[in-house]
Structures are given as structure tokens and as C-alpha cells.
Amino acid sequence: MQPYLDRDLNEEQMLEAEAHLDDCAYCRRRYRFEVSLRRYVRTAMNEPMPLELKAKLAALRTPLH
Ligand SMILES: [Zn+2]
């Protein structure tokens, strides 16, 4: 879901991703989680992100389910 969040998709891929989110509870949950996580990270921006958290985020970046 990373490319979707980063809006790095063409229009067709975007529609596909949105349709998939409508269908797939697993990805929908992950998408919402990433959105709220990013909001949190933005507010905590003054502090460097701990390496452990970075690793956890990287582990979440898997293709559509
Ligand atoms: Zn999915």
C-alpha cells in the first residue's frame, strides 16, 4: 500500500487500489493503520525515528494482499 499512500500511481492503478480497499478488509485495516501512523510520525517529526520503528514500518510495506 505504500505507493497508494504516496500517490505514486497512475489513475487506473489508483482506481484499482481503491476498489481493492473496498473489497479487502485486510488491506483496508493496514491502510488505515498506515494513515494514522503517518499522522503520528508527522507530529513527532522533531525527534529522529527509532531504528526499531523504522524496521517495523519497512516490514509493513508489502504488496496488496
Ligand atoms: Zn488486500
Q: What is the pLDDT of residues 1-59, one digit of tens each?
A: 555 565 667 888 888 988 999 999 999 999 898 888 888 887 776 666 677 777 777 77
**CB within 8 Å of 27: residues ≥ 6 apart:** 1, 20, 21, 64, 65
* Number of residues that this document lists for the chain: 65
Instruction: Provide the residues around ligand 1 (an ion) whose CB is within 5 A.
Output: 24, 26-27, 64-65
pTM: 0.49
Cα 49 to ligand 1 centroid, rounded to whole Å:
28
Cα 34 to ligand 1 centroid, rounded to whole Å:
14
